[in-house]
Chains A and B, each alone.
Chain A
Amino acid sequence: MKIDDWGINNQINKHELVQIFASIVPENSLLFETEDLKPYECDGLSAYRQLPLMVLLPETIEQIQSILRICYQYEIAVVTRGAGTSLSGGALPLENGIVLSLAKLNKIIEIDQDNFTARVQPGVRNLAISEAVSAHGLYYAPDPSSQIACSIGGNVAENAGGVHCLKYGLTIHNVLQLKVITMEGDLLEIGSEALDSPGYDVLALMHGSEGMLGVVVEVLVKLLVKPKVIKVLMASFDQVTTAGEAVSKIISNGIIPAGLELMDKSAIRAAEDFIHAGYPVDAAAILLCEVDGSLAEVDAQIEQVQKVLKQSGAMDIQIAVDEEQRKTFWAGRKAAFPAVGRLSPDYYCMDGTIPRFQLGKILQRIHDLSEEYGLAVVNVFHAGDGNLHPLILYDANIPGQLDETEKMGGEILSACVELGGTITGEHGVGVEKLDQMCIQFNASELQQFLDIKTAFDTKNLLNPGKGIPLLHRCAEFGALHVHHGQLPHPELERF
Chain B
Amino acid sequence: MSAYIKESDQTDTLLAQVQTAYQNKQPLAIQGNGSKSFLTHAVSGQSLTTTEHQGIVSYFPSELTITVRSGTLLSDLKTILSEKGQMLPFEPPAFSKSATIGGTIAAGLSGPSRAFIGSARDFVLGCKVINGKGELLKFGGEVMKNVAGYDLSRLITGSYGSLGVILEISLKLLPLVPKEQSLKFSLPSNQFAHKVQNLLISGHPITAACHLNGQAYIRLGGSEKGVDFSYNEISQTHTDLEIVENTFWSELNEQTLSFFDSSQPLWRLSLPRDINEDDFEQAITTEGAQLIDWGGALRWFSSNQPAEKIRQIAQLYGGHAQLFRTHETDMEQIKTIPKQHPLTPAMLKIHQQIKHAIDPNHILNPGCIYPEL
Contacts and interface: CB of A to CB of B under 8 A. Distances in A.
Interface residues of A, number: 93
Q: Which range holds the interface residue count of chain B? A: 35 or more
B223 A301 contact: yes
A201 interface: yes
B346 A385 contact: no
A455 interface: yes
Interface string B118-156: 110110000000010101111101111111111110110
B43 interface: no
Chain A CB within 10 A, most for which of B137, B163, B200, B369: B137
Given A194-B271, A204-B121, A296-B226, A448 B152 contact: yes
A67 B135 CA distance: 38
Interface string A282-314: 000000000001111101110000000000000
Interface in B157-215: 157-159, 163, 174-176, 178, 193-194, 197, 200-201, 203-205
A143 interface: no
Instruction: Give the interface centre of B118, B151, B370 by most chain A CB atoms within 10 Å.
Output: B151
B77 interface: no
A422 B151 contact: no
A454 B353 CA distance: 9
A445 B138 contact: yes
Interface in A442-458: 444-446, 448-449, 451-456
Contact of B144 (A165, A296, A467): A165
B319 interface: yes
B149 A449 contact: yes
Contact of B297 (A190, A195, A253, A448): A195
Interface string A140-174: 00000000000000000011010001100110110
A283 B269 CA distance: 55
Given A201-B121, A202-B347, A357-B62, A300 B223 contact: yes
Contacts of B369: 199
Interface in A76-112: none
Given A195-B294, A300-B226, A455-B357, A422 B148 contact: yes
Query: Looking at A228, A295, A300, which has the most chain B CB atoms within 10 Å of its CB?
Result: A300
Interface in B322-343: 322, 340-343
A422 B153 CA distance: 15
B41 interface: no
Contacts, number: 264
Interface string A167-198: 00110110000000010001111101111111
A425 B142 contact: no
Nearest to B154: A204
A441 interface: yes
B28 interface: no
A197 B294 CA distance: 15
B204 A115 contact: no
A358 to B, nearest CB: 10
Interface stretch (A10-18, A205-213, A398-406): A205-213
A424 B194 contact: no
A411 B122 CA distance: 31
Contacts of A161: 145
Nearest to A423: B148
A116 interface: yes
B219 interface: no
A218 interface: no
A379 B262 CA distance: 60
A495 interface: no
B76 interface: no
Contact of A293 (B118, B157, B205, B350): B205
A114 B197 contact: yes
Interface in A436-495: 436-437, 440-441, 444-446, 448-449, 451-456, 467-468
Interface string B344-373: 101101110110111000000000011000
Contacts of A456: 350, 353
A444 B18 CA distance: 15
Given A251-B64, A357-B62, A357-B63, A297 B298 contact: no
9 contacts: A182-B350, A200-B158, A209-B151, A294-B222, A295-B229, A299-B225, A424-B148, A425-B143, A453-B150
Given A228-B203, A256-B174, A425-B143, 12 more contacts: A159-B151, A169-B118, A197-B270, A200-B158, A296-B223, A353-B145, A422-B146, A429-B147, A445-B139, A452-B152, A454-B357, A468-B149
Interface of A: 114-116, 137, 158-159, 161, 165-166, 169-170, 172-173, 182, 186-190, 192-202, 204-205, 207-209, 213, 225, 227-228, 248-249, 251-256, 293-297, 299-301, 353-357, 382, 384-387, 420-429, 433, 436-437, 440-441, 444-446, 448-449, 451-456, 467-468
The 9 closest A-B pairs by CB, nearest first: A254-B175, A204-B154, A297-B226, A425-B145, A385-B144, A455-B353, A300-B223, A194-B319, A248-B62
